[in-house]
Amino acid sequence: MSSFEERYSQLNDVLDDTEEDLMKFYEKGNKAAGTRARKSLMELKKLAHEIRQEIQDIKNEEL
């Protein structure tokens, strides 16, 4: 099981990458950056789902 720091770091890394590509897409019209941003957002969704499941598992273990 991952620690809070590891999970938080993973989220921040994905968000940082996404932010850079979103800025390039929206401000400069860089279509390749838009594609990368979409990929990063999907990765963020997957990571969020994993963390949600991990939290649920931990809560269920306490019962």
Please write the tens of the pLDDT for every residue from 8-57.
999 999 999 999 999 999 999 999 999 999 999 999 999 999 999 999 99
Q: Contact 18/40 with Cβ under 8 angstroms? A: yes
Q: Report the run of H or E that residue 2 belongs to, with start and end.
A: none
pLDDT at 21: 96
pLDDT at 48: 93
What is the greatest pairwise CA distance in the chain? 52
Terminal alpha carbon distance of the chain: 18
pLDDT at 11: 93
**pTM, full prediction:** 0.80
Residue 1 has pLDDT above 70, yes or no: no
* CA–CA dist 43, 63 (Å, integer): 31
Task: List the one residue out of 24, 19, 55 whose CA is nearest residue 40.
Answer: 19
